Homo-oligomer: A and B are copies of this chain.
Amino acid sequence: MLRQASQLLRLETRGKGLYEFTREASRWVAETGMAEGLLTLFCRHSSASLLIQENAAPAVKRDLARFFEDLVPEQAGYEHDDEGPDDMPAHIRTALTGVSLQIPLIGGALMLGTWQGLYLFEHRRAPHRREVALHLIGA
């Protein structure tokens, strides 16, 4: 019989960067007792996003961060700058990387590949409390 479970995960960020939460998400999935299903992660913000990326080499995280700094610079004459120069770039970086992710759960394991980790991508300079909604449907 199929069923569903949901949870709000709270993550504290300390400024721009990638924060891994693979362990927290996996632990919650295990607690539901389901072995087959679909896990959804949803970031409830417009200035932080979700990313599945390589979790082995720390240099990958630095190169990713640098790429997005260059692609969406803080100084670009944005019309919207109510909350400072990192505000509008944060919205654009969120648009480019997305706030919704799904991972199948098969045979008791999330289908993340060997090198894939789950990350919250904080795009603001200041520390923030971020909420990621978790939803699992399956059996």
Contact = CB atoms under 8 A, between A and B. Distances in A.
A14 interface: no
B103 A53 contact: no
A92 to B, nearest CB: 5
A37 B46 CA distance: 22
A137 interface: yes
> What number of copies of this chain does the assembly contain?
3
Contact of A102 (B37, B42, B97): B42
The interface centre, meaning the residue of A4, A46, A101 with most chain B CB atoms within 10 A of its CB, is A46
Contacts of A80: 57, 59-60, 62-63
Contacts of A63: 78-80, 88, 91-92
A25 interface: no
Contact of A64 (B2, B95, B100, B134): B95
A65 to B, nearest CB: 11
